[in-house]
Amino acid sequence: MTTRPLAGGRASSAPLMGSDAEPTIFELSAPSRSAWSLRRTGVPEYPLEELVPPEHRREKPVQLPDVSERDLVAHFTRLSQRQYAVDLGAYPLGSCTMKYNPKLCDVIAAMPELANVHPAAPPACTQGWIRLLVELETALCEITGMAAATLQPAAGAAGELTGLLLMRAWHESQSSERHRVIIPDSAHGTNPASVTLAGYAVTTVSSDSNGCVDIRSLREAIDDDVAGVMLTNPNTLGLFEEGILEIAAVAHEAGALLYYDGANLNAILGVTRPGDMGFDIVHLNLHKTFATPHGGGGPGAGPVAVSERLSPFLPGPRPVRLETGGFGWAMPERSIGRMHSWHGNALVLARALAYIIANGADGLRKVAEAAVLNANWLRERLRGLYDIPYDRPVMHELVVSAATLRKRYGTKAADVAKRLLEEGFHAPTVSFPLIVDEALMIEPTETESPQTVEALAEALERIAQEISEEGGADSARAAPRTTLVGRVDEALAARRLIPTWDIGQARDLESSTSSG
């Protein structure tokens, strides 16, 4: 670790500017330092034993780092600059739709009139907030072609579970006991997980030679034990399910519901709607389609919109426009109950409505058109260097394969992705969908300029060409070499994850350093 002398001759463990090494906050600690303190006021202090009962007092102080505000701010600023983000450059993760988040929406969500309102405030004091939520629900229903929606689910997976619980409630209301849900073999990984969590068994149907649901396989799998068919359109290969009307008819003839995984809604905004395709339940990833932030597990938002016959089962309470004027809350007649504390991730919902209003109907259609154009341009540009397993026009994302590169030179899709990090781009999704060998799933999104998409194409071209040259395959397998963290053992990291820092180890390190 790089050190530099401080006044008094003591060496600081803080890194020099540009150094790759960054100490932990405990290694920056020095006894008796603090970020700030309040001056004494002369007001008498109560003894600790009078304020905290003995059974609630610690025997020893909490081991916390002693760090000045200056070092603390510098430390976390340096850490923030080690991360890649959508504000830094292209983030072409297929299916995840990591696109730029407009700052206008952040400004709206940060307004004190919104941010400083407590969710427990009575409706009379929160008319603006409730109206905002009502208008967002109206907009989402218009975009999806559905009748009503809940804004409570906190993200896509929560939306999936909500939709499946609505499916269960509907069938129970029809005195119909069903045990299976059908999903395609190209489905998102959360789909089978959510189906299982909701108490159903998963039945998988295969894809046809065009990369879409095999209708014959669907007909063979469906019967009166199937509660629903769960899929997205376009699917995870970026391909539009051209047989969607037939799929809907097959599902409904068997008494099943059709569920729309909204992860790929970005591709069809303003062009077509799930409701018009025959879907009964639609979940939406606001943090994908409507450019609200992704988080490390949150904040997110995954509203669920439904057809008229399912609206009585929606989670509640729901924001509603009152017949007497104004806005309030109402519990649906046969509600499945709450799916989130309070009213969902409200500030994310505010960002989404701001995005919808700022774009308008014409703008949302242009979002889809630009996303589709970027993906198809990139598909044509990569032709000949990477395999294209389903070579037909795609929607918002494309899947290419490194299978030929692996067979000829021993390099995998993961090697290409890690080599791409050295080119200044975030890696695309790899090895998914599972039905494509050595898959590279790339979603450029509409927020990237033609120049950025071309630079991404050039980087992928350069990598493929280098791999074919002498020593190029070895270089790809060694990548990344220019990032702060090099290639790690991913299997070991997953099996032996250490998510916390051992404070005792840090204290022992400090003690041994000072004694040495």
Last residue of a domain, one of 341, 358, 375: 358
Computed on alpha carbons and rounded to an integer, the radius of gyration of the chain in Å comes to 27
Tokens 């999936």 sit on residue: 160
* Same structural domain, 342 and 388: no
Residue 310 sits in a domain whose CATH number is: 3.40.640.10
What pLDDT is attached to residue 504?
Answer: 56
Side-chain-side CA neighbours of 20 within 13 Å: the count stands at 6
Instruction: Give the tens place of pLDDT for each residue, 206-239.
Output: 999 999 999 999 999 999 999 999 999 999 999 9
For the record, the structure tokens of 439 come out as 């898959």
Burial 129-160 (b: 16+ CB within 10 A, else e): bbebbbbbbebbbebbbbebbbbbbbbbbbbb
Q: Is residue 274 part of a domain?
A: yes
Instruction: Give the tens place of pLDDT for each residue, 283-304.
Output: 999 989 999 988 655 578 999 9
Closest CA to 395 of 421, 422, 368: 368
Q: Is residue 401 part of a domain?
A: yes
Across residues 340-363, what is the average pLDDT? 94
Q: Are strands 226-231 and 257-262 parallel, antiparallel or unpaired?
A: parallel
* Same structural domain, 130 and 270: yes
What is the rounded average pLDDT for all residues in the chain? 90
* Same structural domain, 264 and 131: yes
Q: Given a cut of 60, is residue 11 above it in pLDDT?
A: no
What pLDDT is attached to residue 295?
Answer: 63
For the record, the structure tokens of 420 come out as 């791409």
Q: Given a cut of 70, is residue 3 above it in pLDDT?
A: no
Q: Is residue 60 part of a domain?
A: no
Residue 476 sits in a domain whose CATH number is: 3.90.1150.10
Q: Is residue 140 part of a domain?
A: yes
* Same structural domain, 346 and 367: no
Side-chain-side CA neighbours of 499 within 13 Å: the count stands at 2
Q: Given a cut of 70, is residue 6 above it in pLDDT?
A: no
Between residues 367 and 34, the one the model is more confident about: 367
* Same structural domain, 235 and 177: yes
Is 287 buried (19+), middle (13-18) or exposed (0-12) by CB count in 10 A? Answer: buried
Q: Given a cut of 90, is residue 508 above it in pLDDT?
A: no
Q: How far is residue 294's CA from residue 299's CA, in Å, rounded to a whole number?
A: 7
Handedness of CA 189, 193, 198, 199 (dihedral sign): positive
470-477 contacts at long range (C-beta below 8 A, 24 or more positions apart): 472/409, 473/409, 473/410, 473/411, 473/415, 475/419, 476/411, 476/415, 476/416, 476/418, 476/419, 477/410, 477/411, 477/415
Between residues 471 and 438, the one the model is more confident about: 438
- Type of residue at 99: K
What pLDDT is attached to residue 480?
Answer: 95
What pLDDT is attached to residue 9?
Answer: 31
For the record, the structure tokens of 490 come out as 């991913």
* Same structural domain, 330 and 460: no
Q: Is residue 181 part of a domain?
A: yes
Residue 37: pLDDT band by 50, 70, 90 thresholds?
confident
Which helix or strand (DSSP H or E) is residue 228 part of?
strand 226-231
Question: What DSSP assignment string belongs to 247-289?
Answer: HHHHHHHTT-EEEEEETTGGGTTTT--HHHHT-SEEEE-HHHH
Across residues 15-37, what is the average pLDDT? 76
Q: What is the DSSP letter of 207?
A: B
Q: Given a cut of 70, is residue 393 above it in pLDDT?
A: yes
Per cent of the chain over pLDDT 70 is 92
* Same structural domain, 331 and 346: yes
Instruction: Give the tens place of pLDDT for each residue, 433-444.
Output: 999 999 999 999
Closest CA to 109 of 355, 360, 364: 355
Residue 96: pLDDT band by 50, 70, 90 thresholds?
confident
* Same structural domain, 321 and 394: no
Q: Which stretch of 87-96, 241-250, 349-358, 489-498 has the lowest confidence by average pLDDT?
A: 489-498
Per the structure, the complete domain to which residue 475 belongs is given by 363-490
Instruction: Give the tens place of pLDDT for each residue, 401-423.
Output: 999 999 999 999 999 999 999 99
Across residues 355-372, what is the average pLDDT? 97
Across residues 167-192, what is the average pLDDT? 95
**CA triplet 491, 496, 499: central angle to 5 degrees?**
115
Tokens 């053992």 sit on residue: 489
Q: Given a cut of 70, is residue 8 above it in pLDDT?
A: no
Cα separation values, 2 from 19, 23, 219, 369, 501, Å: 7, 10, 66, 50, 21
Across residues 230-259, what is the average pLDDT? 97
Q: What is the total count of domains within the chain?
A: 2
Q: Is residue 90 part of a domain?
A: no
Across residues 155-179, what is the average pLDDT? 96
What pLDDT is attached to residue 55?
Answer: 87
* Same structural domain, 432 and 341: no
Closest CA to 160 of 206, 118, 131, 195: 195
For residues 126 and 113, the answer to whether their CB atoms sit within 8 Å is no
Residue 5: pLDDT band by 50, 70, 90 thresholds?
very low
Residue 313: pLDDT band by 50, 70, 90 thresholds?
very high
What pLDDT is attached to residue 13?
Answer: 42
Q: How far is residue 370's CA from residue 448's CA, in Å, rounded to a whole number?
A: 9
Q: Is residue 495 part of a domain?
A: no
Q: How far is residue 79's CA from residue 83's CA, in Å, rounded to a whole number?
A: 7
* Same structural domain, 351 and 453: no
* Same structural domain, 328 and 444: no
Per cent of the chain over pLDDT 90 is 74
Residue 317, preceding peptide bond in cis (omega within 30° of 0):
yes
Q: Given a cut of 90, is residue 50 above it in pLDDT?
A: no
Which helix or strand (DSSP H or E) is residue 181 part of?
strand 180-184
Q: Is residue 52 part of a domain?
A: no
* Same structural domain, 328 and 474: no
Last residue of a domain, one of 342, 358, 374: 358
Last residue of a domain, one of 295, 330, 358: 358
Give the dihedral of Cα atoms 471, 475, 476, 479; nearest 10 deg.
Answer: 180
Cα separation values, 5 from 11, 16, 34, 74, Å: 4, 11, 21, 17
Q: How far is residue 138's CA from residue 290's CA, in Å, rounded to a whole number?
A: 15
